[in-house]
């Protein structure tokens, strides 16, 4: 049943909550978006909080799926960086509200997600990627930079320009289309920047 009431509510909730956050969203608005009665939300999901947690878990999982797949792939790091940047920026151009949503809710309730993070083994994946990375350093192929700093650089350069879109557009007076072009430009620029710094020829 892809268009069952429950499914329609889930999709509506995702749409509204992602943009407005927990505090800013109204159950009535979600019901309207789903085209169902307000009471149905409580019938299927018990409470606003429960509905929210379900949405959060799903979205959080999606964001890290891409990252995980690429980081654990067995190609040269130069290709890995390119693939990561491309995949991530494409994903974020499709769902630009995602990072702000996640950072917001993790800031307000850092412990909410521990369970979910364990269930998708984020910790393990992190360690595995780290091991691979450190092996390359020992082989003299990568610059000797702590893995966590590398990851911060990589994620910063991809995610922040998406996050800061409204601020950027105000300051630099670029249009929506120009902004989109800038982000597409970044795919090559960010890869180039990171590769030139990280890879030892």
Q: Which is nearer to DNA, 51 or 70 (CB)?
A: 51
Q: Does 21 bind its own copies (CB under 8 A)?
A: yes
Q: How far is the CB of 120 from DNA (least distance, A)?
A: 26
Q: Which member of 49, 123, 131, 180 binds its own copies (CB under 8 A)?
A: 123
Strand-pairing partners, residue 13, are none
CA 6 centroid distance within chain: 25
Q: How far is the CB of 4 from its own copies (least distance, A)?
A: 31
Q: Does 199 bind DNA (CB under 7 A)?
A: no
Q: Does 148 bind DNA (CB under 7 A)?
A: no
Q: In angstroms, what CA-CA distances link 53 with 21, 169, 172? A: 11, 32, 36
Q: Does 28 bind DNA (CB under 7 A)?
A: yes
Q: Does 33 bind DNA (CB under 7 A)?
A: no
In degrees and rounded to multiples of 5, residue 73 shows phi and psi of -65, 155
Helices 27-34 and 38-45, axial angle in degrees (round to 10): 100
Q: Which does 27 bind (CB under 5 to 8 A by kind): DNA, its own copies, none?
A: DNA
The rounded distance, in Å, linking the Cα atoms of 150 and 128 is: 15
Q: In angstroms, what CA-CA distances link 66 with 9, 54, 112, 159, 169? A: 26, 20, 22, 13, 27
Stretch that binds DNA, among 10-18, 34-42, 62-70, 146-154 (CB under 7 A): 34-42
The rounded distance, in Å, linking the Cα atoms of 198 and 74 is: 17
x/- mask, its own copies, residues 141-170, rule CB under 8 A, reads ----xx-xx-xxx-xxx-xxx-xxxxxxxx
Q: How far is the CB of 118 from its own copies (least distance, A)?
A: 10
Interface with DNA (CB under 7 A): 5-6, 25-28, 36-40, 42-43, 46-49
């Amino acid at each position: 049943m892809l268009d069952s009431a429950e499914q329609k509510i889930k999709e509506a909730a995702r749409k509204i909550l992602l943009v407005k956050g927990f505090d800013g969203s109204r159950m009535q608005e979600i019901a309207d978006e789903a085209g169902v009665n307000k009471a149905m939300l409580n019938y299927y999901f018990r409470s606003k909080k429960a509905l929210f947690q379900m949405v959060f878990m799903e979205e959080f999982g999606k964001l890290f799926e891409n990252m995980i797949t690429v980081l654990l792939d067995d190609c040269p790091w130069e290709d890995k960086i390119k693939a990561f940047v491309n995949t991530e920026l494409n994903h974020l151009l499709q769902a630009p509200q995602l990072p702000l949503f996640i950072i917001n809710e993790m800031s307000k309730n850092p412990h909410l997600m521990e369970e979910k993070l364990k269930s998708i083994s984020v910790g393990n994946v992190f360690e595995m990627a780290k091991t691979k990375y450190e092996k390359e350093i020992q082989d003299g192929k990568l610059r000797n930079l702590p893995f966590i700093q590398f990851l911060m650089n990589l994620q910063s350069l991809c995610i922040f320009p998406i996050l800061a879109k409204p601020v950027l557009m105000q300051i630099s007076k670029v249009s929506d289309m120009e902004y989109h072009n800038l982000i597409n430009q970044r795919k090559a620029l960010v890869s180039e920047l990171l590769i030139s710094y990280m890879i030892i020829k």
